[in-house]
């Protein structure tokens, strides 16, 4: 029997009971649509995180303490035309957290002490007011720049520039509000409050080393152009010399790309997990195909006997029922792809728990879903097909 004859016979058999066929297809349709929709959400999250990290600035390095401490002097030592010619700017941070209040309104925010270079290194734009200046840092002024979300939480859309707020019970004057950046690997940038680094240290509970140096939580480093690897090596060399390290580093220098790669690996794993969870419904759909094929074999036992009596071979019967199962799964898969594409488009921009979903559909997701659905149809269709092929023609003809 030719492939076209097999497909024609299978199509006729499938169309004989449209309601049953439709219900069987429904399981595959739901499974494929769920796989595509959830994997599109995972891909969207991956691209959203990458774009947000890249929006922090270009050519960035992040120096963090590992088993030791980083100091303000370490940060200043990284800007040296002789030892670190590939480094353009550094922006140390002193991080803390606490309640921020305006009158009776209170919110929790990440408070960071920064220098004027922070805005350029991390690519922050001021929506209103001004950023922290060198004079603010030198004079330890009680001024603050609010992230867009913190400003919204406290002032509900009103311009807060010039208004006094309280951070950990200490009065600060708002001098600016930042443009929105959203969540990144470093938390929600919009829920930040930035104050002068010296103010954060002396008035919000900064720490010193045993030698009396000011400790910092993070040093943001901006490389010169594309000289990221050179800047990383120079920063590591300077810090090893300053910390007198001969064995294991007590700090870590991450590049922006390494952060993106690490998060991409994590979100990639999450995407696969979401696809696997949705794939369970495909397995359920496959079980439905097996069930309907077993029913079909029972109903068509006499037909199988007649075909065998007329010369049909075992492989012909096997091929016919396998073809029917694969056609069912592929048909459901194609319809599921259409439903999945529609679902991913509908979910794009959908607000969930205060954040908008981003979905990214690609052909490889659809191809994978189709291959899996066809494989499931083949897998769950083999047993009913083999059972049909094993029927003895005389016993089959006696079946009522």
pLDDT tens, 232-249? 999 999 999 999 888 888
Residue 31's pLDDT band (cuts 50, 70, 90): confident
Pairing of the two strands 187-188 and 143-146: unpaired
**pLDDT at residue 155 in the model:** 93
Residue 55's pLDDT band (cuts 50, 70, 90): low
**pLDDT at residue 230 in the model:** 92
Residue whose C-alpha is closest to residue 338's, from 312, 385, 370: 370
The pLDDT of 117-129, averaged and rounded, is 91
Are 336 and 345 in contact, with CB atoms under 8 Å apart?
no
Are 209 and 64 in contact, with CB atoms under 8 Å apart?
no
- Transcribe 200-229 into DSSP letters: HHHHTT--B-TTSPBEESEEEEEESTT-HH
Residue whose C-alpha is closest to residue 359's, from 15, 42, 3, 8: 42
DSSP H or E segment with residue 324: helix 314-347
> When comparing pLDDT for 63 and 52, which is higher?
63
SS3 69: coil
pLDDT for 127 beyond 70: yes
pLDDT for 18 beyond 50: yes
The pLDDT of 212-224, averaged and rounded, is 89
**pLDDT at residue 111 in the model:** 92
Q: For 24-33, 375-384, 385-394, which range has the lowest pLDDT when averaged over its residues?
A: 385-394
Residue 165's pLDDT band (cuts 50, 70, 90): very high
> When comparing pLDDT for 163 and 37, which is higher?
163
The Cα 378–Cα 385 span in angstroms is 10
> When comparing pLDDT for 93 and 330, which is higher?
93
The Cα 357–Cα 114 span in angstroms is 32
pTM of the full predicted structure?
A: 0.63
pLDDT for 214 beyond 80: yes
Are 225 and 65 in contact, with CB atoms under 8 Å apart?
no
pLDDT for 33 beyond 80: yes
Are 95 and 112 in contact, with CB atoms under 8 Å apart?
yes
The pLDDT of 147-161, averaged and rounded, is 92
pLDDT digits (tens, 9 = 90+) for 338-382: 888 888 888 887 776 556 777 888 777 788 778 888 887 778 778
Pairing of the two strands 192-196 and 105-114: parallel
- Pull the structure tokens for residue 4: 């076209």
pLDDT for 198 beyond 50: yes
Q: What's the whole-number average pLDDT of the chain?
A: 82
**pLDDT at residue 57 in the model:** 57
> When comparing pLDDT for 26 and 166, which is higher?
166
**pLDDT above 70 coverage of the chain, percent:** 86
**pLDDT at residue 32 in the model:** 84
The Cα 14–Cα 22 span in angstroms is 10
- Pull the structure tokens for residue 315: 């492989």
Looking at the DSSP bridge assignments, the partners of residue 192 are 110
> When comparing pLDDT for 215 and 207, which is higher?
215
Q: Let me know if 388 is exposed, middle or buried by CB neighbors in 10 A (0-12, 13-18, 19+).
A: buried
pLDDT for 91 beyond 80: yes
pLDDT for 192 beyond 80: yes
- C-alpha neighbours within 13 Å on the C-beta side of residue 37: 20
pLDDT digits (tens, 9 = 90+) for 132-141: 999 999 999 9
Looking at the DSSP bridge assignments, the partners of residue 91 are 220
**pLDDT at residue 185 in the model:** 47
In 117-180, at which residue ranges do the beta strands (DSSP E only) sit?
126-129, 143-146, 164-167, 170-178
**pLDDT at residue 178 in the model:** 94
Residue whose C-alpha is closest to residue 130's, from 142, 119, 141: 119
pLDDT for 328 beyond 60: yes
């Amino acid at each position: 029997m030719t492939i076209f004859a097999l497909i024609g016979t299978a199509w006729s058999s499938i169309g004989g009971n449209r309601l049953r066929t439709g219900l069987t297809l429904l399981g595959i349709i739901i499974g494929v649509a769920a796989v595509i929709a959830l994997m599109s959400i995972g891909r969207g999250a991956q691209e959203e995180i990458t774009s947000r990290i890249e929006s922090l600035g270009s050519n960035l390095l992040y120096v963090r303490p590992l088993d030791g401490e980083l100091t303000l002097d370490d940060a200043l030592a990284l800007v040296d035309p002789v030892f670190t010619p590939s480094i353009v700017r550094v922006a140390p941070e002193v991080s803390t957290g606490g309640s921020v209040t305006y009158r009776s309104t209170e919110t929790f925010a990440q408070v960071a002490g920064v220098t004027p270079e922070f805005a350029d290194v991390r690519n922050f734009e001021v929506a209103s007011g001004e950023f922290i200046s060198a004079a603010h840092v030198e004079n330890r002024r009680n001024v603050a720049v609010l992230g867009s979300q913190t400003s919204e939480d406290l002032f509900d859309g009103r311009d807060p520039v010039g208004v006094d707020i309280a951070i950990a019970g200490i009065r600060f004057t708002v001098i600016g509000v930042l443009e929105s950046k959203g969540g990144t690997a470093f938390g929600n940038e919009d829920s930040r409050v930035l104050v002068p680094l010296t103010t954060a240290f002396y008035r919000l509970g900064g720490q010193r080393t045993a030698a009396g140096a000011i400790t910092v939580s993070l040093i943001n480093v901006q490389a010169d152009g594309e000289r990221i690897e050179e800047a990383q090596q120079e920063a590591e060399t300077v810090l090893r010399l300053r910390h007198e390290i001969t064995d294991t580093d007590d700090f870590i220098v991450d590049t922006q790309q390494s952060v993106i790669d690490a998060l991409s690996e994590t979100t990639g794993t999450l995407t696969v997990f979401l696809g696997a969870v949705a794939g369970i419904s495909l397995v359920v759909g496959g079980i439905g195909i097996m069930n309907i094929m077993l029913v079909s074999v029972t109903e068509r036992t006499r037909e199988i006997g007649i075909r065998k009596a007329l010369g049909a071979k075992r492989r012909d019967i096997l091929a016919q029922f396998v073809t029917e199962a694969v056609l069912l799964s592929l048909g459901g898969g194609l319809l599921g792809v259409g439903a999945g594409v529609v679902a991913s488009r509908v979910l794009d921009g959908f607000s969930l728990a205060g954040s908008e979903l981003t979905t990214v559909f690609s052909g490889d997701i659809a191809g994978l879903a189709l291959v899996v659905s066809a494989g499931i149809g083949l897998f769950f269709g083999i047993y009913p097909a083999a059972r049909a092929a094993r029927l003895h023609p005389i016993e089959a003809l006696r079946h009522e």
